Structure 1
Amino acid sequence: MALRAGVATGVVGLALVGVTVPAATAEDRVVRADQAVTRACHASLLPPGTAGVDRREVTSDVDGLVQARLAPGDGREGDWDVAVFDEADGAVVAASAALRSRELAESFVTKGQRLVVQACRYAGPARTATLGVDFLALTPRGTPTTVERAEVVRVETPRQEDKDALLGLDLDLTEKGDATGVEVVLAGDADRATLRDSGLKHTTVDPDLSRTSRDAAARDRAYAARGRASGLPSGRTSYRHLYEYEYELKELARGNPRLVRAFTLPEPTVEGRDVVAVEIAKDVDNAADGKPVNLLMGVHHAREWPAGEHAIEWAHELVNGYHRDRSIRSQVVKTRNIVVPIVNADGFSVSREAEPNGDFARFNYEMKRKNCRADDSPPQLRTGVCKANPGGRDRGTDPNRNYAGFWGGAGAGLTWSSETFRGPEPFSEPETRNIRSLVSSRAVTNLITLHTYGNLVLRPPGVAAVRAPLEEPVVKALADRMASRNGYDSIPSWGLYDTTGSTEDWSYWATGGFGFTFEINPAGFHPPYEDAVVAEYVGAAPAAGAGKGGNRAAFLDMLANAADPAAHSTLVGTAPHGYQLKVHKTFRTPTSPVRQADGSTTPPIQVTDTVESRYSSTGGRFTWAVNPSTRPYVAGRHGRDPQGPPQAAITLANPPGVPAENTSFPGNPVAERIPFTVQGPPAADNGRFDVSVSWTSTRTDWDLFVLDAAGQVVAQSANGGTNSERATLLDPPVGEYTAVLVNYDQVDPADPDDWTGGVVEFAPPVPPTYGVAEAYTLTCADRDGRLVGLTDVFVDRGETVDVGDVCTDSARATKQRRR
């Protein structure tokens, strides 16, 4: 029978209007299947009467969206999936395949299009589910949106002041950059004017990003059409849709019941989607077995499709390796591995299902970055679903600026339309609360969060002023090792630009679990699959990790680190069979002083976190991996004690004359060069040097570069609209350097404005600081849940602490109570 549902109203694109259609009866909304069949509901349109399937025929009354939702039908939770097909050609229009009976399949349709909504009972006891189908009409209103040319430029940011100035422009910054510059997306003429008026220098990297994106989509179609499996663990040849991720994860679990467990994170998204993950371990259902936990996640940012692909391929890698590779199996046996391919399920669905136009217009949803939160946008823009709304892709919160770590500071947007909008408060978003719950409750010792793009391995901190943690040498060594596999640059996160509210700047500083961000590939947010996914994962040309192992080898390095007791903390002791042990810590951490849109700041917010880990005793001696009891936020900051005084300042002698104007250094080598020497202990110990020069007019432009003995640029300052330059190098190695002064532009070449006051100034290293030690509260409960043991435990990274018979010897009558 035909099913016709009521249509929602609102505003979308330029307008979303309601269309009245007959309401479906209650009976129409119940889908039934007496038998569960493990099949992909989205794979094909099945004939009526097929076992495990119920279907409804519908006709769209609108040019707009179809939404097909499932909910539990008879009070019992099962696993039902849903797919919408075009009746004429059988092509899938939309689908959803999460782990329960709570599904949302949504995509675009045309008026008069005949559709079949197919509900499939995949597993579980529920014979029925409740189906709802809505159509939402899109009607143009007002002036059509003009699609302008989008481009990528590299903005020169050699100084911290330049990075701060760039962040203040509220442009769409990529993660591709280095100490002296950052690539930025200019969506149109307004962005170009903003950057031009800022005075920051920039060069064009990609003059037509829209064309590049369309070319990439064409390459993807051609690559998939070859029909040959790729070198990936799954053999995949194209970007997945959200429903394919969901189905693939639960199929991994179904096919490997003792090794893989698929599960749903605690909170649905704003639009009601479940977020699906898998856990991979020997005897996977025994989550409280005391093994260290390694977490890999992807797609905080919707348009960064390769991030999800690398994550799910890692899940396949672990499963395949467990069965076929002795070295991988040995590491899997020692660890528990959690993979969350799509953190931002709403945003990814919007981006992945959009037309691949490749432009950055407000209503081109392919390039959406954020989640689907609407509450912070102006009231008139809060209507409409995420795929089509009057705020366009600008609406939402950036999940990777919403964690509590230094939230509210530099490097996050303050207004709803900013691509890096931080949200109204820390952890305001279900996406970040999901990851917070996972990290806080599972003693995650190792974490990688995947993004695009930039060929970077980033480590905490995200803000230069925070200073590196005491463990900086250890954290850096691990990052460097992984970077040696994928060919990426290993730098602190602030080396790109300041960011606050990011994943690992909360997870590491609050829990002590190692945390890193990988920025995958150098070419775009979702460039050709063959390059950004296949080559980057396996380590093949043209990836920087070609011949080095790629991200596969980097992930294996992280897995080995998770298995290494020297990389986390260990508790040992004895406990009776069936007793439950728990380490617990509750603490408050301040955010940054909270920057406001008017330029003022308000006091930091105190954020309360609870971190705990559980161990279920099998009787007798136990070994239990946990994170250090002292969180890095209070442990102290890295530094070193001076081994001598800082070197005396060096005056740079200005050579006679003025070199010709040069706007293309280093391609054009014409410049003035002044050598200087950096000394080392015992004569001097330098924590940094600053090279500075000045001149008279701000309309004159000199650029300053510092070269090491090999001729490599190690510092630079190349600003416009100033009458000085200052280049800085931290912890400079002992040796010979050259200051290079380039005459970029003169007000009057006939009367040159020469530079003066050249000087190299040295500063001592900053000594380390040390904070207080923190303890876990360790408790033991018997089989009836009564507390029978209680003690404090101090444990450092790499340390093993014997807590003895915590369930008996530390028990006191006064501590007996029900939990």
Structure 2
Amino acid sequence: MKILWFAVFWLGLTLSHVEGGVYDGFKIYELATKSRSTGVNLLLSELVKNESYYDLYSDNGAAAHIMVHPEAQPEFIELLTGHTLSYKIVNHDVGLTLRRQFETNRMLRNWYPYQGRLGTERYYSQEEINQYIEQLAQEHPSRVFIKTVGKSYEGRWLKTIRITNGDGRANKNVILMDGGFHAREWISPAAVVYAIGELVNNYEAHAQLLLDYDWVILPVVNADGYEYTQLSEDTRFWRKTRQPSSVECIGTDPNRNFGFHWNETGASSDPCAETYAGPRAFSEPEAIVVRDLIHSLADRGKMYLTVHSYGNYILYPWGYIDELPDTWEDLDEVGRAGGDAIKKATNTTYQVGCSTTLLYAAAGASDDYAFNAGFPISFTMELPAGGPDFFDPPASDIDRLVKETWVGIEAMARKVIEKYPLN
């Protein structure tokens, strides 16, 4: 039976209600889905409305993860015990793990400074990623082209890389891909950057992917938020943009800010909520950039892919309603090509299906918008969890995860090219 409260309260590890250091003593609990009744789910859904003490941020179909403030832990344990709910503590001190991770990341930045190439040894800044794609364009002037497509709220340049085979033919089909919608999901830009490297530097192996198709890629959508998460352990789990949304709260969920069924199911009108849809559709300059990209490419665009984490999902529309589009079988075929390829290569299982039916509602998201604008294939790809807080795969896992992700992306692209040949 679908547990609706997970769809409503995908809150994430918010920083809107905590100051620096308050993560000390926070614990993350894992609750088994099979041990919960509908009544208990409703009770917990009411409990986690108090974002100052509870953050629910996942349900993978088998278990849910909730971060709990130290002051609320006795009450929470009493609730679980009283309802005979099975649980385990999967992180005993979130603050401690965050400090350790940030120290490791600091050392890795010193050990692996940017020198014109991006490897998988560490996570890179948005500025370093921009420098990297510009360097690729300089090295491959006939195949790689950079375009500045806008600015973030804080003034960071948002740039796309267009990758071609260099034959100069115009009006090819297009695959549009982006990463970094949600600030804390560092593995997303890492996976997108790896895909860029494969298409550019390993061209011979992927020539078919570029014969009749160009790839247009925006590596980091939410540049301000992404940079903010790299300031300290106290900002690591910021999710939203950085444009003030009210006197008290900052940021909008850019993936609820698109003007297709904006601010409906799965989005919030509360400026302090993690899924805040914004004061109006396209209030965020970052969402406007993606919107304009979608429309500029919709006549040739065949697949839109936005990379997120976490959850092992390949999700397709609709996200605003619990219904399948008329062409859902085409979406499912392409998505399963990616999931099957990953399963065969690494034995990692991805669930493939309609966003609302399989996971949760998310009205105002970019995948619905692109699909409605004319992209016949449109996906949100949720990469696997990592690290003690699930949104934070350690640097040692980057190489494995980005290579695995590329297996799925390549397989989906090949299926799209087969289904939608150049006219």
**What is the TM-score with the length of structure 1 in the denominator?**
0.43
Question: Counting strand residues as a fraction of each chain, which structure ranks higher?
Answer: 1
How many residues get paired? 382
Question: Counting helix residues as a fraction of each chain, which structure ranks higher?
Answer: 2
* 1:421-460 matches, cutoff 5 A: 421-443=276-298, 444-460=301-317
Secondary structure of the corresponding residue to residue 366 of structure 1: coil
Matched, 1:515 2:378: yes
Q: Separation in 1 of the partners of 2:274 and 2:391?
A: 14
Paired position in structure 2 for 1:246: 130
After superposition, the Cα gap between the structure-2 partners of 1:429 and 1:152, relative to the gap in structure 1 and judged at 3 Å, is same
Paired position in structure 2 for 1:183: 65
Paired position in structure 2 for 1:282: 165
Contact 2:180 2:308 (C-alpha < 8 Å) held by counterparts: yes
From the CA coordinates, give the structure whose radius of gyration is larger: 1
Q: Separation in 1 of the partners of 2:361 and 2:417?
A: 32
Matched, 1:152 2:28: yes
Secondary structure of the corresponding residue to residue 558 of structure 1: helix
Flag the structure with more relative contact order, 1 or 2, with Cα contacts below 8 A and sequence separation at least 6.
2
Q: Which runs of 5+ in 2 are unaligned?
A: 1-14, 343-347
Matched to 1:489, the amino acid is Y
Q: Separation in 1 of the partners of 2:20 and 2:210?
A: 55
* 1:13-52 matches, cutoff 5 A: none
Q: Deviations over 1:486-510 (max 9, x none)?
A: 3232243222222222221222234
Aligned-pair RMSD on alpha carbons? 3.4
Secondary structure of the corresponding residue to residue 365 of structure 1: coil
After superposition, the Cα gap between the structure-2 partners of 1:148 and 1:433, relative to the gap in structure 1 and judged at 3 Å, is same
Deviation at 1:404, TM superposition (A): 2.8
Deviation at 1:446, TM superposition (A): 0.7
Q: Separation in 1 of the partners of 2:324 and 2:43?
A: 19
Matched, 1:534 2:412: no
Q: Deviations over 1:330-370 (max 9, x none)?
A: 22122110111110011111112x12x3xxxxxx2222111
Matched, 1:169 2:38: no
Q: Deviations over 1:387-443 (max 9, x none)?
A: xxxx5xxx2101111123332223223211111111112222111111111111112
After superposition, the Cα gap between the structure-2 partners of 1:561 and 1:414, relative to the gap in structure 1 and judged at 3 Å, is same
Matched, 1:295 2:176: yes
Paired position in structure 2 for 1:563: 417
Paired position in structure 1 for 2:11: none
Contact 1:458 1:493 (C-alpha < 8 Å) held by counterparts: yes
Matched, 1:490 2:351: yes
Q: Separation in 1 of the partners of 2:168 and 2:75?
A: 57
Contact 1:294 1:336 (C-alpha < 8 Å) held by counterparts: yes
Paired position in structure 2 for 1:263: 147
Deviation at 1:234, TM superposition (A): 4.6
Q: Which runs of 5+ in 1 are unaligned?
A: 1-12, 14-142, 358-363, 382-390, 539-549, 571-622, 624-819
Deviation at 1:146, TM superposition (A): 4.5
Matched to 2:305, the amino acid is I
Deviation at 1:225, TM superposition (A): 7.8
Q: Deviations over 1:601-622 (max 9, x none)?
A: xxxxxxxxxxxxxxxxxxxxxx
Secondary structure of the corresponding residue to residue 466 of structure 1: coil
Matched to 2:402, the amino acid is Y
Q: Separation in 2 of the partners of 1:335 and 1:291?
A: 5
Paired position in structure 2 for 1:480: 336
Q: Separation in 2 of the partners of 1:562 and 1:285?
A: 22
Contact 1:446 1:558 (C-alpha < 8 Å) held by counterparts: no
After superposition, the Cα gap between the structure-2 partners of 1:310 and 1:238, relative to the gap in structure 1 and judged at 3 Å, is same
Q: Separation in 2 of the partners of 1:177 and 1:312?
A: 28
Contact 2:294 2:373 (C-alpha < 8 Å) held by counterparts: no
Secondary structure of the corresponding residue to residue 307 of structure 2: strand
Matched to 1:400, the amino acid is N
Q: Deviations over 1:107-141 (max 9, x none)?
A: xxxxxxxxxxxxxxxxxxxxxxxxxxxxxxxxxxx
* 1:653-802 matches, cutoff 5 A: none
Contact 2:137 2:146 (C-alpha < 8 Å) held by counterparts: yes
Secondary structure of the corresponding residue to residue 470 of structure 1: coil
Q: Deviations over 1:628-647 (max 9, x none)?
A: xxxxxxxxxxxxxxxxxxxx
Identity of aligned residues (%): 24
Paired position in structure 1 for 2:326: 470
Secondary structure of the corresponding residue to residue 393 of structure 2: coil
Q: Deviations over 1:507-559 (max 9, x none)?
A: 2234243111222222222221121x211122xxxxxxxxxxx1121111122
Q: Separation in 2 of the partners of 1:144 and 1:321?
A: 43
Paired position in structure 1 for 2:98: 213
**What is the TM-score with the length of structure 2 in the denominator?**
0.79
Deviation at 1:483, TM superposition (A): 1.6
Q: Separation in 2 of the partners of 1:192 and 1:407?
A: 39
Q: Separation in 1 of the partners of 2:70 and 2:273?
A: 15
Contact 2:260 2:369 (C-alpha < 8 Å) held by counterparts: yes
Deviation at 1:228, TM superposition (A): 13
Q: Separation in 1 of the partners of 2:73 and 2:260?
A: 30
Q: Separation in 2 of the partners of 1:164 and 1:193?
A: 13
Paired position in structure 2 for 1:552: 406
